[in-house]
Amino acid sequence: MENNFIFDSINGDNITTDSINSSVYSLQSSVSSTISNKSINEQKYINDQENDQKKEILEIIDLSDYTPEIIKNKIEIEDLNNKKINKIDGKIGFLIFILGMGNMLPFHTFLASLDYLDGIFPQYKMSSTFPFIYMVVVCLTFIILLRFQNKFKAHLILSSGFPCYISIMILTPIVIITSHSPITTYLIILLFMGLCAVIDGLCQGTIFSYASRFGPQYSLIAQTGTGVASVVVVITRLTCKLSFSSDNNGKKIGSVVYFVISAIIILIAITTFFFSLKIEKIRKILITNNDKNQNEVENSNITTIGRDEIIVDNKSKEEKHHPFKEVFKKTYGFGFMVFYNFFIVLFLFPGIIIQIKSLNGIRSDWWIFIMISVYNISDCLGKMLISMLHRFIIPLKIVWSILFGKTIFVLLFFLCIYYDKFNHEPMVLVFLILFGFISGTLVSYGVSEGPKRVDQKLKPTCSVFLSLSLNLGLMLGSSLNLLVSFFM
């Protein structure tokens, strides 16, 4: 049994009677605060524990070999355990990475195809309607998941959601090729986007909850995976645009290949997940039913004395029943950080930014693709930077200054649309690079630093809260974008 309160009473090799009395008095005070409302049997039980503690104090003091070296060894063991916790497991890291990438791939696949879809449906403002439909559905699905989270098993969500992704990726180009009515094609594609958003809303919280259980560094890995998804899509889209002709038949064939590649990558992600379940260490964490999670939370709130347990105090009971409230108090700043970041992002990108025209003759589809690609790559680099600098402490004042300073891009991009002096391709691309890089940095910082402020048992709840903040920012930003786009 560890008697941590003894360590404060040790000064070299000398231990006085006053230190014994002080330790015993401290024990009596701590125990008396817990027995005020207990029954007679519980009081007797605790009094017995108190007597056992007193005996153990005297026994330990009589040990001639009890020196400060024991304290030093204890500290070294704790440091070693912390290093083991901070060490990233390659298999777990790859699993979280590829799940994060696979989950965001459908969204980025639709996003990077706007150069093609916007040309098919110019009258429907696809660059604004697509983010609005997608983000509203994601947010509503996520809220429903929170309300009925005990009804869903996380591993089953991923096991069924990713195959649905694959089906949608294959069906979308088939509909584009075979349908002859623009309005019918448009509505079917919006339906597919909505279905992807439902799956995204279900899988997103699950993936980041998994990541937080393994540690805050894995949350950064998940964010890096979402960023890499955008870069992978850019590469495949560029390959298809260069490989096929620019006429209608070439674009249709290119779109088929483009969506099929995304389906293959998602297939690799879900296959990796299934194989990971065969690893006992991962399986124990990933396949955990809600009852077991609840029991763990309850057990973690039980105060222990010696080797036995006593009933939790009123404060612990209150925290047990209101974990979300406790998480909100400790991490609401990071929640707002993630919310505001994505509110600005979805307000401007892609609906507003895509309105910027090339004045130097760059073909419209290529110019749209270039702007989307530059933002995606910059966003990914920003997320990767925080992953590499996770050991460094970034002052919060600097982070908040960057967050609110990011609002200036609203003015800059509107100037690029309405004033030719700002509408120079290099200037627009520089603005996009800064905008994307700052966005990726802020979201990675928020989702990684937030869980560090709460206890281990509350980290999954913290990830859920940050995901909710993220989705609310996406929904409100895309809603404002759709509203403004109809007046432009």
Which residues of the chain are modeled with pLDDT < 50?
Answer: 1-17, 19-20, 23-25, 27, 30-38, 53-54, 56-85, 289-291, 293-320
**Structure confidence at residue 396 (pLDDT):** 87
Domain boundaries, given as residue ranges, for the chain: 4-83, 88-287+330-485
**Structure confidence at residue 46 (pLDDT):** 53
Residue with structure tokens 């991923």?
A: 158
Structure tokens, 270: 């879900």
**Structure confidence at residue 317 (pLDDT):** 45
CA–CA separation, 31 and 46 (whole Å): 7
CATH of domain 88-287+330-485: 1.20.1250.20
**Structure confidence at residue 230 (pLDDT):** 92
Q: At CB < 8 A and 24+ separation, what contacts does 247-255 make? A: 251/116, 252/173, 252/176, 252/177, 255/113, 255/116, 255/173, 255/176, 255/177
CA dihedral 183, 186, 191, 196 (to 10 degrees): 180
pTM of the model: 0.72
Handedness of CA 101, 105, 111, 115 (dihedral sign): positive
Packed helices 17-32 and 40-61: angle between N→C axes, nearest 10 degrees: 160
**Structure confidence at residue 43 (pLDDT):** 56
CA–CA separation, 223 and 422 (whole Å): 33
Q: Over the stretch 344-365, which tens digit does the pLDDT of each residue have?
A: 999 999 999 999 988 888 888 8
**Structure confidence at residue 86 (pLDDT):** 54
Contact 282, 95 (CB under 8 A): yes
